[in-house]
């Protein structure tokens, strides 16, 4: 089975919404790294040296290749990435190999059996 890693950098207020959307689209789990920091095209404003930007979370989804685009699109819609400035970004990369998925493989095979 081939996998993709979807990485999403999002405002921490939207993390649960995005995780729920990814699960609805077929993601079987998520790793959340909190308190990430990022900067877009224009730096965030600060007040007397204090950063005024909200906290960001890094969401990692290891998903079946056949479901990856659908999950990515659901994440973008839930996070309003194309509608709101600074809402977040998500991308996917190929995974050459993975271990430790024994408990999730039955679910993954069942979800994509018609697509293989």
Predicted confidence (pLDDT) per residue in 44-64, tens digit: 666 666 555 568 999 999 999
Q: Does any domain span residue 47?
A: no
The answer to whether residues 56 and 10 touch, using CB atoms and an 8 Å cutoff, is yes
CATH value at residue 12: 3.30.70.120
* Domain of residue 80, residue span: 3-38+53-96
Q: Does any domain span residue 60?
A: yes
The 3-state secondary structure of the chain reads: CCEEEEEEEEEHHHHHHHHHHHHHHCCCCCEEEEEECCCCCCCCCEECCEECCCCEEEEEEEEEHHHHHHHHHHHHHHHCCCCCCCCEEEEEEEECCCCCCHHHHHHHHHHHCCCC
Q: Which residues contact 74 (CB under 8 A, 6 or more apart)?
A: 21, 22, 24, 25
Q: What's residue 107's pLDDT? A: 73
Domain count, the chain: 1
Predicted confidence (pLDDT) per residue in 62-88, tens digit: 999 999 999 999 999 999 999 988 889
Q: Does any domain span residue 77?
A: yes
Q: Does any domain span residue 88?
A: yes
């Amino acid at each position: 089975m081939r996998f993709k890693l979807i990485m999403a950098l999002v405002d921490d207020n939207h993390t649960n919404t995005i995780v729920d959307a990814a699960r609805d689209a077929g993601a079987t789990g998520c790793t959340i790294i909190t308190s990430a920091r990022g900067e877009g095209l224009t730096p965030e404003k600060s007040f007397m040296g204090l950063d005024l930007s909200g906290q960001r979370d890094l969401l990692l989804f290891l998903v079946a290749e056949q479901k990856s685009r659908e999950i990515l699109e659901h994440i973008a819609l839930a996070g309003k990435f194309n509608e709101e400035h600074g809402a977040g970004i998500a991308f996917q990369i190929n995974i050459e190999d993975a271990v430790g998925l024994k408990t999730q493989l039955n679910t993954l095979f069942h979800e994509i059996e018609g697509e293989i």
